[in-house]
Amino acid sequence: TQDIHGAWKLADAVSLYITPLHLVILDDAKLLRAVPLTEVQQIMALPRMDAPDEDGLVRFRVAEESMAFAIEQHQLFADKLAEAARRSLEEPLLRKQKGYDEEWE
């Protein structure tokens, strides 16, 4: 969360994993949330103004909710999250399959 002066107050540490369909948020082994990548928008990597030498922030929106996480390589993570979110919106390529009779001709 961010206070009135713009300083960030960090919550307890969590782990973030990007899967093909979700951004998974874990607290140790406990699943806190699986955010569908199709809902992740407005991804930004931001340096922390209140602590420039600390980990940067990755901020994004999910529906009407803003989420932010302090991450060591924040720009790299933001880029990977944006790529995964973009790919989740693409139509998958489908191969045309031959019929059983066509294989033996």
Residues 65-77 pLDDT 10s: 999 999 999 999 9
Residue that is written with structure tokens 């990597």 in the block: 45
pLDDT at 61: 96
Q: Report how far residue 41's alpha carbon sits from residue 95's, in angstroms, rounded to the nearest whole number.
A: 30
Query: Which pLDDT band, with edges at 50, 70 and 90, does 11 fall under?
Result: confident
Write down how long the chain is. Answer: 105
Does pLDDT of 42 surpass 90? yes
Percent helix / strand / coil, the chain, rounded to 5: 20, 40, 40
Q: Is the pTM value of this prediction over 0.85?
A: no
Give the mean model confidence (pLDDT) for residues 30-55.
90
